[in-house]
A and B are shown apart, each in its own frame.
Chain A
Amino acid sequence: MNTSNHYDVIVIGAGPAGLTAGIYLSRAKLRTLIVNEGVVGGQLVLTHEIANYPGVESISGYQLANIMKKQAKSFGCDIKANISIIDIALSDDLKKLTLSDGTTYTSRSVILTPGGRSRTLGVSGEDLLKGRGISYCATCDGDFFTDKEIVVVGGGNSALEEAVSLTKYASKVTIVHQFDHFQAFEHAVREAKEHPKISFLMESAITAFNGSEKLESVDIQNLKTGSVENFKTDGTFVFIGYLPNTEFLKGKIEMNQMGEITVKPDMSTNIKGVFAAGDSITKRYRQVTTAVGEGTIAALASADYLHSLTAQN
């Protein structure tokens, strides 16, 4: 065995849950590797300001994530970011991870903290026209659509609140939603419904984005009748919820229908030695503080598990 590639614990994901686990494990002198497919910090780095993290009056998510990363590294935690996972084998006592650079790592315990991401529509033209009329962030790109007619897709709190905020720029906002009712809170629904610039296409879905250099129109299907209308628009903002990054774990670990990992109170999963924490587990509240708490529990439970293995031998 190549000892340099063998760790006590491998943590998949470097958001607040994964970094916290890394801090606790490394500080306990357990050799720990964190592997992250994206930028270190996960969804945390995308948060403009955090004002409800106890002990810190106000900080950007980017800065908080960088402090967590620095802490983990200072205790000796190894971090590999922006790298793809090719394969992960969890069922045996010795877990095995293969990365896109061809390297293979092993460990006795794994903590899964892959987090989540915004859902995309996945329809024709979406990849091509992203940044050319299709956006997923109102505060980032709203001002490009000053005096333009735009579409907002979704029916949750984000969709309705962002639709209202986009009326600062756009001359007209059409909300396209697949159901006949909204999932958003009543006050958000009321504010959108009362806004003179906002109109609604209910029980409808975008089936294609059209345009070459920039978005020119969308195809909208009426889900009741099946008819498709070509709808001229300058921009489309998509807010259709959240997706856990657990596709690579399908069939390897117990998950619910939403693809969220099922965990017990000690963050253990149905596989021995495998724990999970953060936004990718089954839970109601997704906050930095809850992720940090779960990361702590998973790290302590993982350390206990490793000690129990040592005691057996």
Chain B
Amino acid sequence: MLYTNLKHIESASEHAKIISENENVMVICGRMGPMCIPVYGIAEELEEEYKHVKFCDMEFDNPQSSVIRNLPEVRGFMGIPFTIYYKNGKVVKATSSIQSKAQVTAILDKEFAVTTNA
């Protein structure tokens, strides 16, 4: 069980629904361990600032997390969490293992940049 304050994705169908209904989605797939918890914490901190991004987590040991573990983008990953960034349902970035806040915000700012009309 992931006892974070993020939206928990429990099934493959829920995962499909979330990435189809939200333009920008970050899913952290991990356990409650030292490499994962800092990334959940960063996502919790950023939820307020990045309101245009849906922040979620999913248990790595949930068999249905195969929707993430079997992605071609995570081939070669050997460290949790697997963090996946979806834009309009498509994977635009994936990272393996612990990340800093600066690394996460750099991806969010690049991949999920807010366009404003002049």
Query: Are B45 and A82 in contact (CB-based, < 8 A)?
Result: yes
Q: In chain A, what residue has the closest Cβ to B95?
A: A131
The answer, yes or no, to whether A63 is at the interface (CB within 8 Å) is yes
Minimum CB–CB distance for B46 against chain A, Å:
8
Chain A residues near B42 (CB-CB < 8 A)? 39, 82
Q: Which of B37, B77, B80 contacts A45 (CB 8 A)?
A: B37
Q: Which of A87-95, A133-141, A285-293, A294-302 lies on the face that meets chain B? A: A133-141
What separation, in Å, do the CA atoms of A29 and B32 have in the docked complex? Answer: 35
Would you call B114 an interface residue if the criterion is a C-beta within 8 Å of the partner chain's C-beta atoms?
no
Q: For the complex, would chain A's binding face be called helix, strand, loop or mixed by DSSP majority?
A: loop
Once the chains are docked, how many angstroms separate the CA of A144 from the CA of B97? 12
A46 near B34 with CB under 8 A, answer yes
Verify A140–B41 contact, CB threshold 8 A. no
**Cβ contact within 8 Å between B79 and A144:** yes
B41 touches A131 (CB 8 A): no
Contact A131 B97 (CB under 8 A): yes
Residues of chain B within 8 A of A41, CB atoms compared: 41
Interface assignment of B72: CB less than 8 Å from any CB of chain A: no
Cβ of A194 within 8 Å of any chain B Cβ, yes or no, is no
- In angstroms, Cα B41 to Cα A214, docked, is 27
Given contacts A60-B3, A62-B32, contact A140 B79 (CB under 8 A): yes
Whether A13 sits at the interface, judged by CB under 8 Å, is no
A277 to B42, CA, bound (A): 25
A132 contacts B by Cβ under 8 Å:
yes
Q: Give the residue name and chain of the B residue nearest to A38 (CB).
A: B38
B8 sits at the interface (CB 8 A): no
**Within the complex, which residue of A40, A60, A133 is in contact with B32, where a contact is CB–CB below 8 Å?**
A60
In the complex formed, the residue of B with least CB distance to A118 is B34
Answer yes or no: B54 CB below 8 A from chain A CBs. Answer: no
* Pair B38/A213 contact, Cβ less than 8 Å: no
Are B79 and A141 in contact, CB atoms less than 8 angstroms apart?
A: yes
Interface residues of A in 124-164 (CB under 8 A from B): 130-137, 139-141, 144-145
Contacts A38-B38, A39-B41, A82-B41 given; does A131 touch B33 at CB 8 Å: no
Q: Does B36 contact A (CB under 8 A)?
A: yes
Residues of A within 8 A of B32 (CB): 48, 60, 62
Please tell me if the beta carbons of A132 and B37 are within 8 angstroms of each other in the complex. Answer: no
B101 contacts partner chain A, Cβ-Cβ < 8 Å: yes
A309, CB-defined interface residue at 8 Å: no
Q: Are A141 and B78 in contact (CB under 8 A)?
A: yes
Interface residue A81 (Cβ < 8 Å from any Cβ of B): yes
- Residues of chain B lying within 8 A (CB to CB) of residue A133: 78
Chain A CB within 8 A of B18 CB:
no
Q: Is the CB of B37 within 8 A of A131?
A: no
With contact pairs A60-B3, A63-B3 given, residues A140 and B78 touching in the complex (Cβ less than 8 Å): no
**B27 CB to nearest A CB, Å:** 16
Flag if B33 contacts A137 (CB, 8 Å): yes
Q: Give per-residue flags for B71-93: 1 if the beta carbon is below 8 A from chain A beta carbons, else 0.
A: 00001111110000000000000
**Quick check: A140 and B101 within 8 Å, CB to CB?**
no
Which residues does chain B contribute within 8 Å of A144, judged by CB atoms? 78-79
Task: Say yes or no: B35 contacts A140, CB within 8 Å.
Answer: yes
- The 0/1 profile, CB within 8 Å of A marked 1, for residues 33-75 of chain B is 1111110011001000000000000000000000000000001
Q: Which A residues lie within 8 Å of B95 (CB)?
A: 131
Q: Which of B31, B32, B78, B96 has the most CB of A within 10 A?
A: B78
User: Is A235 on the interface with B (CB-CB < 8 A)?
Assistant: yes
Q: A46-B34, A131-B96, A140-B33 are in contact. Are A214 and B78 (CB under 8 A)?
A: yes
* Beta-carbon nearest neighbor of B82 in chain A: A131
**Which single member of A48, A62, A82, A141 contacts B80 (CB below 8 Å)?**
A141
Q: Can you list 9 A-B pairs, Cβ within 8 angstroms, ordered by A?
A: A40-B41, A41-B41, A46-B33, A60-B3, A130-B96, A131-B77, A139-B33, A141-B79, A214-B78
| Shortest Cβ-Cβ A-B pairs, 6 listed | A131-B97, A39-B41, A131-B96, A131-B79, A46-B34, A144-B78
